[in-house]
Structure 1
């Protein structure tokens, strides 16, 4: 699934996912949590999904804020899989 996403599709997706932004050839979002352990629990859930798909995001942990950045090295940019995984990561905090 290293298919590069079509620009129009990416723009539409970003309109529907306002918390995500485009940073050059990556999509990025900051997730905020009430406690540090909650942020670590989220990172562990992200890691499980990433392992299942063999597609790993950049993860930055700043106390109660977790920043995810998704891109594909093979496609040299944002792919359909990046968008699909972003949706999965969003679903982790929507419950």
Structure 2
């Protein structure tokens, strides 16, 4: 994916940014640690279904996800679709956001 196209698509995703030519990152805040873990559980379900797994960092009530597509050598539509789905569950399925 061309970097200009990636930048435009990522800019439309709340909480996400491009880290370099190969990675994008999104962060989510929660009101409690259990809510953060519940979100990560949902991320895991989506990642398994898509067979596309993010790097996940859990810092108490903050979850950071990093995406890239290894076999493509950088960002693809698969990364963008994953980020869209993660944003959707954050907005609709997790009641204890912070």
TM-score (norm 2): 0.87
- Count of matched residue positions in the alignment of Structure 1 and Structure 2: 91
The Cα offsets for residues 1-34 of structure 1, whole Å up to 9 and x where unpaired, read as xxxx233321211221242111121110110000
Tell me the equivalent position of 1:72: 69
SS in 2 for 1:68: strand
Q: Which runs of 5+ in 1 are unaligned?
A: none
Tell me the equivalent position of 2:95: none
Give the Cα separation in 2 of the matches to 1:80 and 1:51: 17
Aligned mate of 2:7, from 11, 31, 40: 11
Q: Which runs of 5+ in 2 are unaligned?
A: 93-98
Runs of 4+ in 1 over 3 A off after TM superposition: none
Give the Cα separation in 1 of the matches to 2:41 and 2:14: 24
1:37 partnered with 2:48: no
Residues 36-55 of structure 1 aligned to structure 2 (within 5 Å) = 36-55=33-52
